[in-house]
Structures are given as structure tokens and as C-alpha cells.
């Protein structure tokens, strides 16, 4: 019996280089994906992943000498329209959907409206959307405004939109960054179904466990160059991290006993109807307490209350032994509480503004001289924190949007540390941050704890709290249901408790 031929490459890129203003973002990279294959594109922020995707989808043009074949057709210079017609789609991390439009309109508008405006048939919109969702085995309310959907369902809408037409390849950029484990499992099953139907998927994720769970092959980029293409079978997270960064990282439990340190924060019976209830919690100076659990557990809502963004219905908050009540986040900041939001892009930073302006924003009153902001004081503040947190920047006047995810997160940390807090609340501090940058951020967090700062670390990734917290609290249904000592509990046991 003749051996079955391997599926043809739906995308083949050879000798791809790209230079921006003298900076080489890609250097002689080759990349190929077969029909029906799930292929991971791995690398740190700045490694060239997004540039390669944008060249494949026609957003950028490669430097001279590159060769690109899409669906068996040699394409000298892809354009977004040509790539789409040849069956290549991309789902960016921000999804690029329209919140005010319905589910059906978001899925079908591009296919039915085309380049020129014309009246759209609601029946056609509905039928197109139904067919696309049907390929995913998913049912959604087609008339619901997109803004009413949680992020996991918006992700499904984005995938369904990509499937309208004869799609052969879908790039997914950080598709699970804002999803819980259960939602992630559902998405990974959708990816498997797409693969089984012959659609190739290129999966980009900083969550390496997902990469190894879903991918057949992994292409690794580092500093714009190709490290290699590796089978996912037999690959470990530590080996993949080493390939991506050229370094090895210690994944050891860092928990310490801080039981004799003075209490910074004490909560007794804290309750907010429909969000969390009967929360008893103490965080001591120099202690990092982790809270993990699934979406809806009430973790972020509790963090909002501690930062004065919503008020509890009953219960008590004490700081350094004294009862406090916050009417706003300004009260919380004055009391010495800082909060790093999980939504860095819209809540943590003002993207068009400069690095310096973002960093100085919470402490402008300290920079005043004769009623005006002192350039000397501002420069000293900004330069000091950029140096202390080892932020990689061009110039402080550059827009903060020019920084990588890891360096943006360091700026968020810096701006809140500049307020000299007693308690630092970190809500999903590594969302969208690559593995190397994560290690750097947690090294900073450990250093801050060693200097006596009390830290509340909120994360839905059990490994983050297991390796970086002194105590781990499992929150479910608005309550703290279990407490774990990472020195006495394995990561597997913690994950079983949280994700079961």
C-alpha cells in the first residue's frame, strides 16, 4: 500500500527579511504551514512574530529576495485583499470587532458589503453568520450586540468571521490571553475541529503549556532570526523557553513564612452582594498573597473594592490596624494602595502619550514648583524608575505604545511604585507578556516584597501564584474556599483544585 502523501503547504515563506529604518526586524526567515496543521509561532516580544504574520497577510512588504507561496500560488507581494481571497485570515489580540454591531453583522459584514457601501440583507447576514458558526459547532444569539458578550464569545465571533469564505489558514495572535482555563479548553477544541476540517491554524501564545498541548510543530524566532522548527511532541516548556530566550529560568517555589511581620491589610467579613462575600484576609509587610480562581470568582471585584473603585456592602477594611473606608480610588492612593489593572492597554496606560507622561501621571502634585510641573523633578523621577526597573526604551518622550508588552508593564509598575504604596495589588500582571519578560517582572515583584511591600497577586494562572506567592488563596463563587502553602502543595494539586 502506497504511503499517503503529506498535505501540501498552504503557506510557504522563504528568505524573508524586513528592515524598518535601519533596524532589521526579520533576518532570512523561512516558515511553512501545511493544510490542517496546527503550528505554533513562538518567540519573545520583539522576536519578529508579528512582522512575519503581517508580511504573510500583506500588511507589510518583505525586503527584496523573499519568496512567498500561498495555496500553491507564487505571490510576489501579497496585499491584505489578495491574502484574504487566497484564504489567509488573521485574528489579532484586540479582535478588531465592532462593539455596537450585532453578532451577525460582525461575522458577515466584510463578506457581504465588500469595498463599496451598499444595502445589506439581514437575511443574508444571518445566513452567513449561521454557516460560519455552524462550522465551529457553536450557537450564539445573532441579534445580540457584541458589547453584551464576554471576551470568550467575542473570540468565537472573530474566528467565525475569519471562516467566512474559503479560508485555508488562520493566524491567531494570543487568542487565550484573556480567557479562563475552561474557556481556553473550549477554544482549543475549536482549533482541533478546524484542523480536522482541513483549516491550518498558526497559534501564537505566551502560555507555553497551551502551545505544547495544541500544536504539531513549533517554529521559534529569536531577535528576528529563525532558531528552528521543532516537533511539539517531546518538547518541554523549559526547553522551549530556552530556545526562545537563549537562557534558562529557575521555576522554583519562592514562598517564605511572613507570619511574624506586621499586618498591612486586614479584611473581616467583607461582602459586596453578587460579587464576593465573607472575605477574611490578612497580608503582612513583605508578604505576597496570591489569589487564583476562575472568571466570576470575584477576584477582580475584590481588588476594585480595595482600590476604592466600588464600595463593600458590609465588612471591615483595616490598614496598619486602622479601619478605612474609601469613597474613590483617590482615597485609596492617599492611603498607600496601588493597583495594576489586568487591562493594561485601556486602563493601565494612555497609549498615545509619552512614556514620561504615563509614568509621572499619578504623582504630578509632587512635581510642582511654583504651581508648574518642574521639568527637572519630572526627568529625575522618570529616569530613576526606568533605571531601577530596567525598562528598555528609546527616549522618554516616545509614545508608550512603542514599547513591548513587558516594558509597558514595567512602566505601569513604575508609575504606581512612584506613589510609594504600602500595598500593591497586581491583577493579572503578565497578560500578553512573553516568558522572558514575565521572569523579569516577577523578579521585580520579589525584590519589592523583600523591601517590605505587601503584595496581593491576582491571577487565573495557577503556576504564577504557585511559584511567586508566599500563600495562595483559591476563590470560587465569591468566597475564599481554600488556602495553600506552595512549599507543601504541588502545582498539580493546586491546578486540580482550581480547574476541576
Instruction: Judge whether 251 lies within some domain.
Output: no
314 and 286, same domain (yes or no) = yes
**Which one-letter DSSP state was computed for residue 244?**
H
Last residue of one domain, picked from the residues 213, 245, 277? 245
Last residue of one domain, picked from the residues 245, 275, 290? 245
pLDDT of 113 reads 59
Instruction: Judge whether 257 lies within some domain.
Output: no
pLDDT of 268 reads 97
Q: For the residues 283-287, what does the mean pLDDT come to?
A: 97
189 and 319, same domain (yes or no) = no
Cell 478546524 belongs to which residue?
194
Instruction: Judge whether 153 lies within some domain.
Output: yes
53 and 114, same domain (yes or no) = yes
198 and 295, same domain (yes or no) = no
Instruction: Judge whether 253 lies within some domain.
Output: no
Whether residue 2 is predicted with pLDDT greater than 50 in this model: the reply is no
Q: For the residues 51-59, what does the mean pLDDT come to?
A: 94
214 and 287, same domain (yes or no) = no
Do 179 and 189 touch, CB atoms closer than 8 A? no
Measured distance CA(141)–CA(500) in Å, rounded: 28
325 and 448, same domain (yes or no) = yes
Q: For the residues 25-39, what does the mean pLDDT come to?
A: 96
pLDDT of 5 reads 56
What's the whole-number average pLDDT of the chain?
88
Q: For the residues 105-110, what does the mean pLDDT come to?
A: 86
Please give the full DSSP string across 360-426, using - where no structure is assigned. HGGGGGGGEETTEE-HHHHHHHHHHHHHHTT---S-TTSBGGGS-HHHHHHHHHHHHHTT--SEEEE
Closest alpha carbon to 339 in 315, 294, 307, 317: 307
Instruction: Judge whether 230 lies within some domain.
Output: yes
Measured distance CA(431)–CA(183) in Å, rounded: 16
CATH code for the domain in which residue 374 is found: 3.40.50.300
Q: Mean pLDDT lowest for which of 32-41, 167-176, 307-316?
A: 167-176
Its domain, for residue 308, covers: 263-499
**pLDDT band, residue 181 (cuts 50/70/90):** low
387 and 456, same domain (yes or no) = yes
226 and 315, same domain (yes or no) = no
Which of 153-162, 394-403, 475-484 has maximum average pLDDT? 475-484
E strand intervals along 263-370: 263-272, 276-284, 288-292, 314-319, 322-324, 337-340, 368-369
| Tens-digit pLDDT profile for residues 221-261 | 998 999 999 999 988 877 888 898 887 766 788 899 988 99
pLDDT of 355 reads 92
pLDDT of 497 reads 87
376 and 301, same domain (yes or no) = yes
373 and 406, same domain (yes or no) = yes
**Max Cα-Cα span within the chain:** 88
**Which one-letter DSSP state was computed for residue 348?**
I
Instruction: Judge whether 287 lies within some domain.
Output: yes
241 and 271, same domain (yes or no) = no
pLDDT of 47 reads 87
Q: For the residues 1-11, what does the mean pLDDT come to?
A: 68
pLDDT of 500 reads 67
280-284 own/partner pairs: CB under 8 Å, 24+ apart: 280/480, 281/473, 281/480, 283/423, 283/454, 283/455, 283/456, 284/258, 284/259, 284/454
pLDDT of 245 reads 84
Count of domains observed in the chain: 2
Instruction: Judge whether 2 lies within some domain.
Output: no
Instruction: Judge whether 252 lies within some domain.
Output: no
89 and 205, same domain (yes or no) = yes
Amino acid at each position: 500500500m502506497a504511503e499517503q502523501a503529506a498535505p501540501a503547504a498552504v503557506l510557504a515563506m522563504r528568505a524573508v527579511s524586513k528592515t524598518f529604518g535601519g533596524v532589521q526586524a526579520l533576518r532570512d526567515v523561512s516558515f511553512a504551514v501545511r493544510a490542517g496543521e496546527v503550528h505554533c509561532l513562538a518567540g519573545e516580544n520583539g522576536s519578529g512574530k508579528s512582522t512575519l504574520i503581517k508580511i504573510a497577510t500583506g500588511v507589510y512588504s518583505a525586503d527584496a529576495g523573499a519568496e512567498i507561496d500561498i495555496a500553491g500560488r507564487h505571490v510576489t507581494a501579497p496585499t491584505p485583499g489578495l491574502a484574504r481571497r487566497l484564504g489567509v485570515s488573521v485574528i489579532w489580540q484586540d479582535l478588531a470587532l465592532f462593539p455596537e454591531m450585532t453578532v451577525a453583522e460582525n461575522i458577515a459584514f466584510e463578506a457581504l458589503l465588500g469595498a463599496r457601501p451598499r444595502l445589506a440583507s439581514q437575511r443574508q447576514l444571518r445566513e452567513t453568520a449561521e454557516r460560519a458558526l455552524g462550522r465551529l459547532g457553536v450557537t450564539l444569539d445573532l441579534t445580540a450586540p457584541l458589547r453584551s458578550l464576554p471576551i470568550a464569545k467575542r473570540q468565537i465571533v472573530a474566528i467565525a468571521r475569519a471562516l467566512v469564505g474559503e479560508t485555508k489558514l488562520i493566524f491567531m495572535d494570543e487568542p487565550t490571553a484573556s480567557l479562563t482555563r475552561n474557556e481556553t479548553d473550549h477554544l482549543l477544541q475549536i482549533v482541533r475541529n478546524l484542523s480536522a476540517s482541513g483549516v491550518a491554524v498558526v497559534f501564537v501564545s505566551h502560555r507555553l503549556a497551551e502551545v505544547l498541548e495544541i500544536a504539531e510543530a513549533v517554529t521559534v524566532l529569536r531577535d528576528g532570526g529563525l532558531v528552528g522548527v521543532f516537533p511539539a511532541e517531546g518538547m518541554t516548556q523549559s526547553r522551549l523557553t530556552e530556545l526562545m530566550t537563549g537562557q534558562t529560568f529557575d521555576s522554583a517555589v519562592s514562598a517564605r513564612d511572613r507570619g511574624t511581620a506586621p499586618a498591612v491589610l486586614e479584611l473581616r467579613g467583607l461582602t459586596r452582594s453578587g460579587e464576593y462575600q465573607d472575605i477574611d484576609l490578612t497580608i503582612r509587610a513583605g508578604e505576597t498573597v496570591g489569589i487564583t480562581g476562575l472568571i466570576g470568582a470575584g477576584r477582580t471585584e475584590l481588588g476594585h473594592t480595595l482600590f476604592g473603585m466600588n464600595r463593600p456592602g458590609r465588612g471591615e477594611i483595616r490598614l496598619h490596624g486602622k479601619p478605612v473606608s474609601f469613597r474613590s480610588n483617590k482615597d485609596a492612593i492617599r492611603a498607600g494602595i496601588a493597583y495594576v489593572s489586568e487591562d493594561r492597554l485601556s486602563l493601565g496606560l494612555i497609549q498615545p502619550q509619552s512614556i514620561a507622561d504615563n509614568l509621572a501621571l499619578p504623582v504630578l502634585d509632587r512635581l510642582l514648583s511654583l504651581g508648574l510641573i518642574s521639568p527637572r523633578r519630572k526627568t529625575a523621577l522618570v529616569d530613576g524608575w526606568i533605571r531601577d526597573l530596567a525598562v528598555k526604551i528609546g527616549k522618554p518622550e516616545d509614545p508608550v505604545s512603542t514599547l513591548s508588552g513587558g516594558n509597558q508593564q514595567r512602566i505601569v509598575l513604575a508609575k504606581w511604585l512612584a506613589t510609594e504604596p504600602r500595598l500593591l495589588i497586581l491583577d493579572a500582571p503578565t497578560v500578553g507578556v512573553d516568558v522572558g519578560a514575565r521572569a523579569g517582572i516577577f523578579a521585580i515583584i520579589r525584590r519589592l516584597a523583600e523591601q517590605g511591600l505587601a503584595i496581593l497577586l491576582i491571577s487565573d494562572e495557577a503556576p504564577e501564584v504557585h511559584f511567586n506567592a508566599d500563600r495562595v488563596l483559591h476563590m470560587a463563587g465569591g468566597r475564599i474556599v481554600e488556602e495553600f502553602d506552595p512549599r507543601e502543595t504541588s502545582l498539580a494539586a493546586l491546578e486540580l483544585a482550581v480547574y476541576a
